[in-house]
């Protein structure tokens, strides 16, 4: 009975905490994006050399977009002549570095973990964006046009701060409704792990002494597709049971970076080789991040 009560308390506490975080951060980010000059952003992304990749990764980190917004923006960037590498850095960083993930990590895993995660994913987004351009990935873009959603990010912005704030909260609420099921599933699984999974079992297969735990966790996360809102509560519970922080990070990166809806939509604008390359990039980012986290923890 005590175990059941502790499990329920864990579920309620984490759910309430993540709800407040999601709504608050989403509102602030939506409000901030209304003040960013869109034309300047596009000019910066079109900068020469690695500068465009840096800007692309930065913009991706500020945009908690789902695939329905990311893909039209990706097409739009390509059609106005943004360099392919900068666009790839945006595509890689957008699902991995959004403010929701980072804030959840600060609260649940600590500031140090969030900063290392930010550094690793940002650098990987920049580097792999450059690599994908150098190996000729731009030639693997299909000849398609924006058929719908082309006005993503171009909706009319209210004049007053109050109206901007109301609209930002409405957007946050809409996004929250879309992820609520995933969040509850993640917290529910995490609570069950916290309450009932034997710690010795986790240590045996995914503890810090198992060097293969990280690539296995990344390989599980990539096809499994668990949203960050689902993965982070599960990862927190697994860490409390003894799973290495590196394996948890690999699972989060692999799952969050490989959204099945996004991959299927990317297959509509990129050829199979490029989609496969993006999958490989996310896997390598997950494994790299996992080993770096374990090294720091050691």
pLDDT in tens, 90-141: 988 888 887 777 877 887 778 888 888 899 999 999 999 999 999 988 888 8
Residue 150 has pLDDT above 60, yes or no: no
Q: Are 59 and 22 in contact (CB under 8 A)?
A: no
Q: What is the mean pLDDT of residues 132-154?
A: 66
pLDDT for the residue numbered 125: 92
Give, in order, the Cα–Cα distances in Å from 43 to each of 51, 69, 81, 132, 157.
Answer: 11, 20, 10, 21, 21
CA distance 173 to 154: 20
% of the chain surpassing 70 pLDDT = 80
Residue 220 has pLDDT above 90, yes or no: no
Q: Are 266 and 95 in contact (CB under 8 A)?
A: no
Residue 149 has pLDDT above 60, yes or no: no
Q: Are 45 and 214 in contact (CB under 8 A)?
A: no
What residues have CB less than 8 Å from 57, skipping those under 6 apart?
Answer: 89, 90, 92, 93, 97, 122, 125, 126, 129
Residue with tokens 């993965």: 231
Q: DSSP characters for the chain?
A: -HHHHHHHHHHHHHHHHHHHHHHHHHHHHHHHHHHS-HHHHHHHHT-STHHHHHHHHHHHHH----HHHHHHHHHHHHHTT--HHHHHHHHHHHHHS-HHHHHHHHHHH-HHHHHHHHHHHHHHHHHHHHHHHHTTGGGGB------S-TTTT-SPPPSSHHHHHHHHHHHHHHHHHHHHHHHHHHHHHHHHHHHHS-HHHHHHHHSTT-TTHHHHHHHHHHHH---HHHHHHHHHHHHHTT--HHHHHHHHHHHHH--HHHHHHHTTTB-HHHHHHHHHHHHHHHHHHHHHHHHHH-
Min mean pLDDT across 56-65, 136-145, 151-160, 210-219 is at 151-160
pLDDT for the residue numbered 132: 92
Residue with tokens 């009932």: 196
CA distance 95 to 70: 9
- Quote the pTM value: 0.70
pLDDT mean across residues, the chain:
78
Residue 232 has pLDDT above 60, yes or no: yes
Q: Are 297 and 250 in contact (CB under 8 A)?
A: no
pLDDT for the residue numbered 269: 80
The domain locations on the chain are 2-297
pLDDT for the residue numbered 146: 42
């Amino acid at each position: 009975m005590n175990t059941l009560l502790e499990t329920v308390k864990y579920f309620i506490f984490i759910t309430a905490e993540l709800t407040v975080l999601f709504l608050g951060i989403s509102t602030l980010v939506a409000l901030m994006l209304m003040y960013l000059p869109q034309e300047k952003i596009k000019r910066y992304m079109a900068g020469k050399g690695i500068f465009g990749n840096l800007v692309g990764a930065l913009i991706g980190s500020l945009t908690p977009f789902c695939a329905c917004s990311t893909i039209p923006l990706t097409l739009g960037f390509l059609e106005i002549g943004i360099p392919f590498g900068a666009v790839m850095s945006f595509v890689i960083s957008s699902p991995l570095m959004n403010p929701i993930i980072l804030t959840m990590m600060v609260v649940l895993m600590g500031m140090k973990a969030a900063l290392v995660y930010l550094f690793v994913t940002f650098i990987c987004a920049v580097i792999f964006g450059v690599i994908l351009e150098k190996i000729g990935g731009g030639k693997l873009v299909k000849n398609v046009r924006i058929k719908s959603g082309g006005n993503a990010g171009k909706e009319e912005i209210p004049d007053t701060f109050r109206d901007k704030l109301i609209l930002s909260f409405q957007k946050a609420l809409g996004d929250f409704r879309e992820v609520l099921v995933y969040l509850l599933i993640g917290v529910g699984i995490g609570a069950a792990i916290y309450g009932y999974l034997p710690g010795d079992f986790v240590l045996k297969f995914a503890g810090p002494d198992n060097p293969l735990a990280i690539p296995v966790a990344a390989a599980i996360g990539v096809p499994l597709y668990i949203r960050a809102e689902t993965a982070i509560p599960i990862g927190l519970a697994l860490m409390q049971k003894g799973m290495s922080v590196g394996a948890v990070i690999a699972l989060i990166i692999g799952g969050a970076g490989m959204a099945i809806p996004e991959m299927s939509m990317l297959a509509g604008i990129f050829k199979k080789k490029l989609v496969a390359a993006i999958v490989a990039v996310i896997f390598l980012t997950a494994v790299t991040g996992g080993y770096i986290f374990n090294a720091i923890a050691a």
